[in-house]
């Protein structure tokens, strides 16, 4: 018999966060989160997303043992401003027992019906900067820090619960040696002169911060046309700056500005922390920080996390300026492999940007949807 229990106490929240550590203890591809940071994600005091969203967390028990978890999420900005009557769910993990996954999904659907929402979709997080999708292909590669990983059996659980594919994403990689500067070297010089653009040279985190708000504003503008996009508000900007910027090498953040210092392009690349996080085992102390700082300084793998171009400058080759800046940085650091985070498979514009580097799709993931009518 499966018993569900809603998370109410700090002890239960910690158990919710730590359940995957047990589930994936024998997996060499799963990357653990930092436990303390994951707990803060669900703190109404720490995470400003709760100003416009709700989350209820549930644990599934069998024989007094935790066998599954799920987060039921309601994003009111999405519902009220976009009229997307969606019941979100994420942080969905479970043993290979259809009763367990069904009980957890049933609870999400029940909540969605109580709010008179039209459908459920997951796995997704609170916003566009959270993790997304269940892995459907490519289980034999280590997962980046910014994605979820799952066992292959997860898919049959969605299908058994009558969920249908909603969105499809792909993750790709390419060796740095594939990057041929002749594809962008001359073009980027012409583009800089034509549009009077300047790439900023940043070497310190404090130099990044004055431009961070402009970057998030441009993120909102450049991604607004994508399905289910929810803009980042001012309070969330402060939260993400605090959470992410200090983890990123400042030289891996590229800003392109026009003659009036308006930002028209940006990109964020992160060193790969996956192996460092595996060694840290969810804890920053006493040795986790050491592994993470070492990866920040020495990792030969990098992950393209975000790239955005102002709508007025899209299809004008601005990405060539960005790639030229990264080429010089990566060459100096001896970077070997470039990875891309999940991108919608129907986002043709982003695929065209990368085509010259001959990327290899090594993992696919999807979100699943079910009508509540």
Q: What is the pLDDT of residues 263-307, one digit of tens each?
A: 999 999 999 999 999 999 999 888 888 999 899 999 999 999 989
Confidence of residue 227 (pLDDT cuts 50, 70, 90): low
Model confidence pTM above 0.85: yes
Residue 367 lies in a domain: no
- My answer on whether 84 and 206 are in the same domain is no
- My answer on whether 229 and 312 are in the same domain is yes
Residue 274 CA to residue 289 CA, distance in Å, equals: 13
Token pair of 311 as six digits? 């709508």
Counting Cβ atoms within 10 Å, is residue 13 exposed (0-12), middle (13-18) or buried (19+)?
middle
pLDDT of 342 higher than 90: yes
Domain count, the chain: 2
- My answer on whether 199 and 348 are in the same domain is yes
Residue 315 lies in a domain: yes
Confidence of residue 228 (pLDDT cuts 50, 70, 90): low
- My answer on whether 254 and 339 are in the same domain is yes
- My answer on whether 269 and 246 are in the same domain is yes
Residue 122 CA to residue 71 CA, distance in Å, equals: 10
Buried b (16+ CB within 10 A) or exposed e, 263-278: bbbbbbbbbbbbebbb
- My answer on whether 205 and 97 are in the same domain is no
Q: How far is CA 106 from the centre of its chain?
A: 26
Residue 339 lies in a domain: yes
pLDDT at 271: 94
Q: Any residues with CB less than 8 A from the CB of 265 and at least 6 apart, and which? A: 197, 218, 254, 255, 256, 308, 309, 310, 313, 318, 319, 321, 322
pLDDT at 56: 98
- My answer on whether 71 and 179 are in the same domain is no
Instruction: Single out the residue in 137, 171, 205 at which a domain terminates.
Output: 171
Q: What is the pLDDT of residues 25-65, one digit of tens each?
A: 999 999 999 999 999 999 999 999 999 999 999 999 999 99
- My answer on whether 126 and 199 are in the same domain is no
pLDDT at 351: 80
Pairing of strands 360-371, 301-309: unpaired
Residue 369 lies in a domain: no
Positive or negative: CA dihedral 4, 10, 16, 18:
negative
Token pair of 36 as six digits? 């303390």
- 321 lies in which domain range? 175-361
Between 217 and 242, whose confidence is greater?
217
Instruction: Single out the residue in 130, 156, 171 at which a domain terminates.
Output: 171
Confidence of residue 22 (pLDDT cuts 50, 70, 90): very high
Identify the CA nearest to 294 among candidates 309, 314, 277, 307.
277
Does residue 296 sit in helix, strand or coil? helix
How many C-beta atoms surround the C-beta of residue 208 within 10 A?
22
Instruction: Give me the chain's average pLDDT, please.
Output: 93
Q: What is the pLDDT of residues 305-314, one digit of tens each?
A: 989 999 999 8
- My answer on whether 145 and 211 are in the same domain is no
Q: CATH number, domain at 294?
A: 3.40.630.30
Identify the CA nearest to 73 among candidates 57, 47, 55.
55
Instruction: Single out the residue in 122, 153, 171 at which a domain terminates.
Output: 171
Residue 336 lies in a domain: yes
pLDDT at 122: 97
Residue 226 lies in a domain: yes
Residue 368 lies in a domain: no
How large is the average pLDDT for residues 1-15?
97
- My answer on whether 55 and 127 are in the same domain is yes
- Which helix (H) or strand (E) is 290 found in, with range? helix 288-298
- My answer on whether 231 and 308 are in the same domain is yes
Residue written as tokens 């609870």? Answer: 107
- My answer on whether 150 and 223 are in the same domain is no
Residue 366 lies in a domain: no
Residue 155 CA to residue 163 CA, distance in Å, equals: 10
Q: Any residues with CB less than 8 A from the CB of 227 and at least 6 apart, and which? A: 167, 344
pLDDT of 240 higher than 90: no
């Amino acid at each position: 018999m499966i018993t569900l229990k809603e998370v109410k106490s700090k002890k239960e929240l910690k158990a919710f966060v730590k359940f995957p550590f047990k589930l994936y203890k024998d997996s060499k591809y799963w990357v653990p989160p930092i436990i303390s940071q994951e707990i803060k994600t669900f703190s109404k005091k720490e995470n400003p997303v709760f100003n416009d969203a709700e989350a209820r967390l549930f644990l599934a028990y069998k024989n007094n043992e935790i066998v599954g978890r799920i987060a039921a999420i309601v994003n009111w900005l999405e519902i009220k401003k976009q009229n997307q009557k969606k019941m979100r769910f994420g942080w969905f993990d479970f043993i290979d027992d259809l009763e367990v996954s069904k009980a957890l999904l049933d609870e999400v659907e029940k909540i969605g019906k109580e709010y008179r929402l039209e459908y459920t979709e997951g796995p997704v997080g609170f916003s566009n900067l959270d993790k997304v999708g269940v892995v459907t292909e490519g289980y034999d590669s280590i997962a980046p820090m910014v994605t979820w990983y799952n066992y292959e059996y997860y898919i049959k659980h969605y299908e058994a619960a009558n969920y249908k594919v909603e969105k499809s994403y792909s993750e790709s990689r390419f060796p740095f040696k594939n990057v041929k500067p002749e594809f962008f070297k001359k073009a980027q010089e012409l583009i800089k002169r034509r549009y009077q653009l300047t790439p900023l040279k940043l070497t310190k985190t404090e130099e990044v911060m004055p431009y961070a708000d402009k970057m998030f504003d441009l993120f909102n503008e450049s991604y607004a046309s994508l399905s289910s996009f929810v803009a980042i508000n001012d309070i969330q900007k402060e939260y993400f700056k605090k959470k992410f910027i200090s983890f990123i090498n400042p030289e891996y953040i590229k800003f392109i500005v026009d003659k009036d210092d308006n930002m028209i392009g940006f990109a964020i690349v992160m060193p790969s922390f996956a192996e460092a996080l595996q060694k840290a085992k969810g804890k920053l102390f006493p040795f986790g920080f050491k592994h993470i700082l070492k990866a920040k300084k020495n990792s030969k793998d990098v992950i393209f996390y975000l790239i955005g171009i102002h709508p007025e400058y899209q299809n004008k080759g601005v990405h060539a300026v960005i790639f030229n800046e990264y080429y010089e940085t990566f060459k100096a650091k001896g970077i070997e492999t470039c990875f891309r985070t999940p991108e919608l498979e129907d986002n043709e514009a982003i695929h065209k940007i990368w085509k010259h580097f001959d990327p290899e799709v090594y993992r696919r993931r999807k979100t699943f949807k079910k009508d509540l009518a």
